[in-house]
Amino acid sequence: MRWAWIVAMAALWGGPALATSGYGCEAEGKPVSIEILIGHAIAPVVVQVRLNDGEKSWSTADEPAPIRILQAWIDDRELRLDLVDGDTSRYEARLRVRLADDMSAKGTLERGGATYRLRCSEM
């Protein structure tokens, strides 16, 4: 029995590491920003987001989460992200960015009826 426990623990601790990267995006001429943490394993996945509108900041890591990731898409050309409120009853923000070869990105963030042009760089 003890041998089985040792094998089980070794299997858990010996699993693959989850590498991370991310982007920090700022609106041109506005105090709006968004930070995206991306996990890399078999496929990239958005694991955490922080949104700042100049007056207030929200994070998917806060408890209870004031914003949630509704859906996300990331590949080698673009990142799309839809954020909703904690009750998942309304959109808080929609992010659409094109990724460049130099690890930068440009795109838009829609929030509160306004569309902001963003410049992003890898964090």
Q: Would you say the C-alpha torsion 106, 110, 111, 112 has a positive or negative sign? A: positive
What is the fold, at CATH topology level, of the domain defined by 18-122?
A: Lipocalin (2.40.128)
Neighbours of 59 (CB within 10 A): 15
pLDDT tens track, the chain, 123 positions: 444 444 444 444 455 556 889 999 999 999 999 999 999 888 889 999 999 998 899 999 998 889 999 999 999 899 999 999 999 999 999 999 999 988 889 999 999 999 999 999 998
Give the distance between the most distant pair of CA atoms in the chain.
64
List the structure tokens of 7: 């094998």
Please give the model's pTM, rounded to 2 decimal places: 0.80
**Cα–Cα nearest to 80, from 118, 42, 53:** 118
In the chain, domain spans: 18-122
